[in-house]
């Protein structure tokens, strides 16, 4: 037979042929192709709806400063500083860290004394007073002892764990040598313990004393925040090395930034203590030097999650397609023809799974790649702050959206094979993915059950889109209601992928066992 010989030349393997055939099946049903476009459009259009309706702060927050790592940061503090042109050191003792808190239940103007756990009084080296600049700091805190922090995201605990007081002063020291800055602490100004080393750019830097205080966060109940102002009392700064000029004061950052604000009646400032110039300083400030997180500590800002919120709509549409791609075989007896052409049933299912996963990945990643810049453009248009995340995080959210939809599509396909009817399969898919996701993140459930849903159900996979950062050194309410998944991004995805693979294995089992 002529045709047989003619064909033998162009010969991919059996699996590739099956995949090719399934792709032909998929692309030749116009409704399915349009469905893919619809899934992408739904995902993208949701961002437009979302960014229109959350226009609560028109003309309010400008873009948040971005730190050296590309993440949105708070960089607001009261700073008494001098210029250090080369190597040198700064040593000072902190003798008090006190503050004023707004009483959230006491009505306007009611305040009480106190400091927030991450209120800071310390010393800092930074090349610039521009918010978002690189820095290295050693600081006493309200409740977390002495810390050495640099470039917003790095935080090291020092030996000292107490709160500064005249009886227990905390001695702090920064030593600059070339690009390296090393931090030390001491209880007596004599015996010093090295905390660690970090780097700042060369050339002239500003170095000195700073105080700041993030807002007080209610970690229970609704999780609101209220203004807090801190005052740090420093001894006389001891300087060695290449210092220039005299002490100057600056409020770095606008007001108190996104994470803090001044208690009504207080303002940022400083006062020289003792007789004569420069014996010591009392500095008052509010704000924070830290990455921006979500929840009450974050303040209003659009996030990657805001922009990708339409993903669940795309997931439903793609789930319908994937379930139909399986159920259509049963609906019209097409499966008999499919299996007559390819008797290896596992291969048919595998080809279908690869196909729907690939299509869903392209749709998901493509829609996310369009949605993120579109959302940012929308945010700028309405003068709404955007919580910038590093490019690698954005890339992970984009690819993760593709993988999330791919895994969900495989789950839908498997349910379609198991249940043989698309309506039933889609209902099951929505019940195990979208519903837990909406219930947990919509704040309709208490934190505990919401977190368990996002650990156990396939909805855990949405964690792969998580771009909201979480830092030990920033107090916030890291719960699903504030957009925080209990599992890390890839951990959550692994839960979904596990469900999808288990369903696929079950589908392969019944497909092999059942009469077609």
- 40 touches 368 (CB < 8 A): no
d(CA 230, CA 98): 6
Pick 4 or 53: Cβ nearer another protein:
4
Q: Point out which span in 7-15, 50-58, 175-183, 459-467 binds another protein (CB under 8 A).
A: 7-15
Tokens, residue 137: 């700091």
Binder to another protein among 264, 336, 442, 446 (CB under 8 A)? Answer: 336
Q: Long-range pairs for 184-191 at CB < 8 Å and ≥24 separation?
A: 184/138, 185/138, 185/146, 185/158, 185/159, 185/160, 187/160, 189/91, 189/93
Q: Are 210 and 120 in contact (CB under 8 A)?
A: yes
Least separation in angstroms between residue 413's CB and another protein is 16
CA nearest 328: which of 23, 20, 36, 25? 25
- C-beta closer to another protein: residue 356 or 403: 356
- Please list the alpha-helical segments (H only) found in 122-190: none
Q: Is 3 in the site for another protein (CB under 8 A)?
A: yes
Q: Which of 9, 16, 4 is nearest to 347 (CA)?
A: 16
CB 397 within 8 Å of CB 304: yes
The residue count for binding another protein (CB under 8 A) is: 34
Residue 11 as a binder of another protein (CB under 8 A): the answer is yes
- Residue placing its CB nearer to another protein in the complex, 14 or 278: 14
Residue with structure tokens 């610039």? 128
Nearer to another protein, 35 or 253 (CB): 35
**Structure tokens that stand for 287 in this block:** 């704000």
Q: Which is nearer to another protein, 6 or 472 (CB)?
A: 6
150-169 positions binding another protein, by CB under 8 A: none
Question: Among 23-31, 106-114, 278-286, 493-501, which window interacts with another protein (CB under 8 A)?
Answer: 23-31
Interface with another protein, residue 332, by CB under 8 A: yes
3-state secondary structure of 141: strand
Does 53 engage in binding with another protein (CB under 8 A)? no
DSSP 438: H
Nearer to another protein, 17 or 383 (CB): 17
Taking CB under 8 A as the criterion, the residue among 37, 49, 279, 334 binding another protein is 334
Q: Which stretch binds another protein (CB under 8 A): 280-288, 337-345, 386-394, 405-413?
A: 337-345
Between 37 and 334, CB nearer to another protein = 334
Please give the residues from 339 up to 398 whose contact with another protein meets the rule CB under 8 A: 339-344
Of 224, 333, 448, 488, the residue at the interface with another protein (CB under 8 A) is 333
Task: Enter the tokens of residue 324.
Answer: 């139909």
DSSP state of 63: P
Site residues for another protein, 24-43, by CB under 8 A, read 24-25, 28-31
Shortest Cβ distance from residue 9 to another protein (Å)? 10
Binding to another protein, residues 301-330 (CB under 8 A): 328
- Locate tokens 């400030």: which residue? 285
Specify the stretch interacting with another protein by CB under 8 A; choose among 188-196, 268-276, 283-291, 334-342.
334-342
**Residue that is written with structure tokens 């002529």 in the block:** 2
Helices (H) and strands (E) in the chain, counts: 12, 18
Q: Which is nearer to another protein, 61 or 516 (CB)?
A: 516
| Least distance in angstroms from the C-beta of 38 to another protein | 16
Residues 373, 378, 382, 383: what is their CA dihedral angle, to the nearest 10 degrees? 0
> Which residues neighbour 13 within 8 Å (Cβ) at sequence distance 6 or greater?
none
Which residues lie near another protein (CB under 8 A)? 1, 3-4, 6-7, 10-12, 14, 17-18, 20-22, 24-25, 28-31, 328, 332-334, 336-337, 339-344, 515-516
């Amino acid at each position: 037979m002529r045709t047989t010989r003619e064909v033998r030349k162009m010969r991919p393997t059996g699996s590739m042929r099956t995949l090719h055939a399934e792709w032909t099946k998929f692309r030749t049903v116009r409704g399915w192709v349009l469905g893919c476009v619809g899934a992408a459009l739904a995902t993208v259009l949701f961002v437009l709806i979302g960014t229109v309706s959350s226009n609560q702060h028109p003309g309010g927050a400008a873009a948040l400063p971005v730190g050296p790592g590309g993440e949105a940061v708070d960089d607001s503090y009261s700073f008494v500083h001098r210029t250090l042109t080369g190597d040198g050191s700064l040593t000072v003792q902190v003798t008090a860290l006190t503050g004023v808190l707004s009483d959230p239940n006491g009505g306007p103007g009611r305040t009480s004394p106190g400091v927030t756990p991450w209120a800071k009084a310390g010393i800092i080296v930074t090349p610039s007073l521009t918010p978002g600049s690189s820095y290295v700091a050693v600081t006493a805190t309200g409740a977390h002892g002495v810390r050495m922090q640099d470039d917003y995201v790095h935080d090291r605990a020092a030996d000292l764990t107490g709160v500064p007081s005249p009886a227990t002063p905390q001695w702090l020291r920064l030593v600059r040598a070339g690009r390296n800055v090393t931090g030390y602490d001491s209880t007596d100004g004599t015996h010093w313990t090295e905390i660690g080393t970090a780097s700042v750019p060369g050339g002239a830097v500003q170095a000195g004393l700073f105080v700041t205080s993030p807002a007080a966060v209610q970690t229970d109940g609704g999780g609101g925040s209220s203004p807090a102002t801190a005052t740090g009392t420093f001894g006389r700064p001891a300087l060695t090395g290449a210092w220039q000029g005299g002490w100057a004061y600056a409020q770095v950052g606008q007001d108190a930034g996104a994470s803090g604000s001044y208690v009504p009646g207080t303002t940022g400032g400083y006062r020289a203590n003792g007789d004569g110039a420069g014996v010591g300083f009392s500095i008052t400030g509010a704000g924070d030097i830290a990455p921006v997180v979500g929840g009450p500590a974050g303040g209003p800002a659009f996030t990657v999650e805001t922009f990708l919120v339409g993903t669940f709509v795309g997931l439903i549409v793609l789930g319908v397609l994937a379930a139909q791609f399986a159920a259509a075989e049963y609906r019209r007896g097409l499966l008999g023809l499919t299996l007559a052409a390819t008797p290896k049933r596992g291969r048919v299912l595998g080809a279908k799974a690869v196909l729907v996963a690939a299509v869903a990945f392209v749709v998901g990643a493509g829609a996310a790649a369009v949605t993120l810049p579109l959302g940012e453009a929308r945010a700028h248009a309405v003068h709404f702050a955007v919580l910038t995340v590093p490019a690698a995080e954005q890339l992970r959210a984009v690819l993760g959206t593709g993988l999330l939809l791919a895994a969900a599509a495989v789950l839908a396909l498997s349910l379609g094979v198991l249940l043989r009817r698309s309506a039933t399969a889609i209902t099951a898919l929505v019940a195990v993915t979208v519903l837990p996701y909406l219930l947990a993140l919509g704040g309709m459930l208490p934190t505990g059950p919401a977190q368990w849903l996002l650990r156990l159900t396939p909805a855990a996979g949405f964690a792969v889109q998580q771009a909201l950062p979480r830092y030990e050194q920033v107090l916030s309410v890291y719960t699903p209601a504030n957009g925080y998944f209990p599992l890390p991004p890839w951990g959550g995805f692994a839960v979904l992928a596990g469900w999808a693979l288990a369903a696929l294995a079950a589908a392969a089992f019944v497909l092999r066992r059942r009469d077609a």
